[in-house]
Every structure is written in structure tokens, then in C-alpha cells.
Amino acid sequence: MSDFAHAFFGGGNLRLKIFYPNGLFLDEEVDIVTVRTVEGEMGILKNRAPIIAKLRVDKIIVKKFDKKFEYIIDDGFLHCDGENVIILTEDVKNEINPHEYLGG
């Protein structure tokens, strides 16, 4: 994230929590979360307007201090209040297995 974006959006102050049936999968302070909703791709920064969205089976990209992390989720829901992003999903994985992800 650029210095301007950090100054303007207050990067690093967005709390991301991912829940799945086994409980809490992730609870981290991040700069940006990118998800794919049924309406399309969305990047979420701190101070974003509140939103509730239906998520598609796809990857979530999380950036923190110029490092990128990717997770695969099943269908789910996202809630953002401007400072917190909460994702509820049926399943989440750390690594991308192309055969599983592409249904092969």
C-alpha cells in the first residue's frame, strides 16, 4: 500500500476475522482485503462504508505490510463496518490446490 493510502485510509487498522464451522480461522490486523462477491470483486480498506455481501467460492487476498496472503473460501457472507471485516464461510484453506479449486 502506498504512503498516501496509508495516510489517507489509516492502513493496518482494519481487523479481519474469518469464521468457519470449526471456529475462528483468522484474526489479524490488515491493510486491505480483496474478495469476490456475487456482484464482482471488491477491495476493502479501513473506513469503507458499511456493507453486507454474499461471497462466491474464490480466493481472498489479504495484504499486510506489503506481504500478500491468499486463502480459498467456500460460499459465505461478509460484513464490514468500516473498521472490521467479518467473513463467515463453510470452509477455508490456506493453500491453493489447483486440482481441487478447478474441480479436477
The model's pLDDT over 22-35, given as tens digits with 9 standing for 90+, comes to 999 999 999 999 99
Q: Give the whole-angstrom CA distance, residue 43 versus residue 22.
A: 26
What is the arithmetic mean of pLDDT over 76-83?
A: 95
Residue 104 reports pLDDT greater than 90: no
DSSP bridge partners of 16: 28, 85
- Record the pTM: 0.80
The pLDDT value given to residue 13 = 84
Q: In the numeric block, which cell numbers belong to residue 90?
A: 463453510
Question: Which CATH superfamily, name and number, covers 3-101?
Answer: F0F1 ATP synthase delta/epsilon subunit, N-terminal (2.60.15.10)
Greatest Cα-to-Cα distance within the chain, rounded to the nearest angstrom: 44
Contacts of 93 (CB under 8 A, 6+ apart): 71, 72, 73
Q: Give the whole-angstrom CA distance, residue 83 versus residue 92.
A: 22
